[in-house]
Amino acid sequence: MIENQSDNIENKDSNMPDLDKAPEVSSSPEDQIIENDESSSQKTEEINTEDLKNTISNNDARLEQLEKEHETLKNQYVRISADFDNFRKRQSRDQDDLKIQLVSKSLKAILPIVDNFERARQQLKPESEEAQALHRSYQGLYKQLVEVLKQQGVAPMRVVGQQFDPNLHEAVLREPSEELKEDFIIEELQRGYNLESKVLRHALVKVSMGPGKQNSQEEEEKDTVEVDIDSEENTSDDS
């Protein structure tokens, strides 16, 4: 009996698993899931960081492009604004010039009438009361005409004794003068007029040649006469 019991104990001991030789316990599915989540999370963070860098780089490039486009549009606006301002000023000047041209054309047609009034005033010398009354009426009409011209900006030139200026005057005659130097105006033959500081009609004038011209001309004529006399005397002696 004792032997059988010992054999049974030995058999039980032999049937018991060897704990020292037991296989290692593998990780649970939950641990694997956690590890996978951490790995995927790390990869996701790396991808997000790379995308963020690319997005920032693209935004910087886009911002630089927009700044260049803004600068280009700003320069275009400045040029267009300047061109429009110049166009507006040029248009205004053209309109003013056209207005002056139209007014000048109308006033030039009136100036010969003013000339005739002035000639008649110089020639008429009323003696009788009737002629004087007529002359006063004429003077009244002349003053009205001059006043209308004055209101339109027309002003007569004062040229006698002034130096000749081709921009204002037109020389019709030139003659020697002992009183005025060369290129000074001796006489006004036809009155000139200005329209708002611009020439409406040039003055017709007689211009001085200066002193000495006449003397030299007389000496030249005298020498010519003496030569003629000498030639006549020589001819008579030969005959």
DSSP 8-state secondary structure symbol assigned to residue 28: P
Q: Residue 239 pLDDT more than 50?
A: no
Which residues are CB-contacts of 164 (< 8 A; sequence separation ≥ 6)?
171, 183, 184, 185, 205, 207
- For residue 192, how far is the Cα from the chain centroid? 32
Which residues are CB-contacts of 134 (< 8 A; sequence separation ≥ 6)?
126
Q: Please name the residue that has the structure tokens 């009361």.
A: 129
The domain locations on the chain are: 103-152, 154-211
- For residue 49, how far is the Cα from the chain centroid? 57
pLDDT in the model for residue 221: 52
- Chain length of the chain: 239
Q: Residue 62 pLDDT more than 50?
A: yes
pLDDT-wise least confident of 6-15, 153-162, 199-208: 6-15
Which residues are CB-contacts of 190 (< 8 A; sequence separation ≥ 6)?
115, 203, 204
7-39, pLDDT tens digit by residue? Answer: 544 544 454 444 444 444 445 556 556 666 666
CATH of 154-211, one of 2.30.40.10, 3.40.50.1820, 3.90.180.10, 2.30.22.10: 2.30.22.10
Q: Residue 68 pLDDT more than 50?
A: yes
pLDDT in the model for residue 2: 45
- The rounded percent of the chain whose pLDDT value lies above 90 is 23
